[in-house]
Amino acid sequence: MEATSVDKTVKRTNSINNAFASKFAKSMFLAISGLVILSFIGTRIFTHVDLNLYGYMVGTIVFLGGFFYRFIAWGERPPTKIYIKKGIKLLFRKSTPKTSVEHLGTYNFIWNRGIYRWTQHVLIGWGVIVSCMVTFPLVFGWMYFTMADSGYYTIVAMGINLMTVPADGVIAFFSYNALNFSAIAVIIGVCMAMYRRLKNMQARAEQKFLYDFLPLYLLLFISITGLILTFMNVFLHGTGHYTMSLIHQYSVIITLIYLPFGKLAHIPFRPLSVFARNYREHYAEQSMKQCKVCGSEFVSTEQTSDVIDVLEQNQIEFNMKDGFNLAELCLPCRRKYRISRFSGFATHEVLIKEANQDAKG
């Protein structure tokens, strides 16, 4: 009976997969279907749709296409498959909430690099997150506002009236200015990042315009045009609003289309860092691998085995004549061993630490 039920489940899964030409097509279909269903519910059967936001909706759908293409191509790599597969199994570890907060909320992993870099990451990161949390619900109708004759706003989320607030109250003020506050945070963070990249000699040597500076310029342009829109509405009584709204909308759409293929792609990929952290911590608690040369523990035994397996899958072998695999050496000894192969001197047997071996940050 158990075998029969398993066979039925496999056949059902295969039949679903066979309905699509590829994993990309399946992912896009499910994502778009999910957005349509949520919009159907949130807009009360499409009775509250803001057509002025249509361009953002199209840009988001194109972004999803690029994101799934990039994610599937990346996820098909053998190392990524291991991280995702084992990361899902370890998702319910007790330390997962803490790790998620540190990696996705407080950015503690950047603190060791300096308070300046940590501040710029927090400002850019949370500025972008807040703007997305406000923009996407408005674009797809998951959240909107209605106003009665009495001067009160009703906040509606997923078709449900959440609360009624005064139009000139604190909640209404922060709700309508959330994008302005996030824009200011992004502008400050971007300016800090650009200053560092222009002044820091090491950063300047590693920068490329299209990869490193263009994303910052796009974020800066979106934030500035958004603030200009608010200025026009408040102080110029809407003069020039239509033209500036189109400029702002096009800048957002271009950024959404570019996002999956540039440096900003690490934003939607960032949650997977929790998988990697859980993987390292869980298997490190089980057993640590000792370096074959110096004897120091450098990674988990599981990670070493996974590295060797991945190399074999790609028909790459690093089995040395000395009776060990190169993956079984810590990084300093691995570098020394490679030098010894060229110099003829057993540099890996010299038990002297490198100057930056224990460097942090």
What are the DSSP calls for 79-125, one per residue? HHHHHHHHHHHTTT-TTHHHHHHHHHTS-HHHHTT-HHHHHHHHHHH
Sign of the alpha-carbon torsion through 14, 18, 24, 29: negative
pLDDT at res. 147 = 81
pLDDT at res. 359 = 47
202 φ, ψ (degrees, to nearest 5)? -65, -40
Instruction: Report all structural domains of the chain as residue ranges with CATH numbers, in order of start.
Output: 21-273 (1.20.950), 289-349 (no CATH)
Binned at pLDDT 50, 70 and 90, residue 198 comes out as confident
Binned at pLDDT 50, 70 and 90, residue 191 comes out as very high
Furthest-apart CA atoms within the chain: distance in Å: 87
User: What is the average per-residue pLDDT within 129-146?
Assistant: 90
pLDDT at res. 187 = 97
Q: 67 near 268, Cβ under 8 Å?
A: yes
Higher model confidence: residue 183 or residue 234? 183
pLDDT at res. 323 = 77
Binned at pLDDT 50, 70 and 90, residue 345 comes out as low
At 145, which helix (H) or strand (E)? strand 143-147
pLDDT at res. 162 = 86
pLDDT at 294 over 70: yes
Higher model confidence: residue 215 or residue 359? 215
Binned at pLDDT 50, 70 and 90, residue 17 comes out as low
44 phi-psi bin (left φ>0, alpha ψ -120 to 50, beta other): left
CA angle (162, 166, 169) in 5-degree steps: 105
Binned at pLDDT 50, 70 and 90, residue 87 comes out as confident
Higher model confidence: residue 317 or residue 234? 234
Helices (H), the chain: 2-18, 23-42, 54-75, 78-89, 96-104, 108-111, 115-139, 170-199, 201-206, 214-235, 241-258, 266-269, 273-286, 301-313, 331-343
Confidence (pTM): 0.80
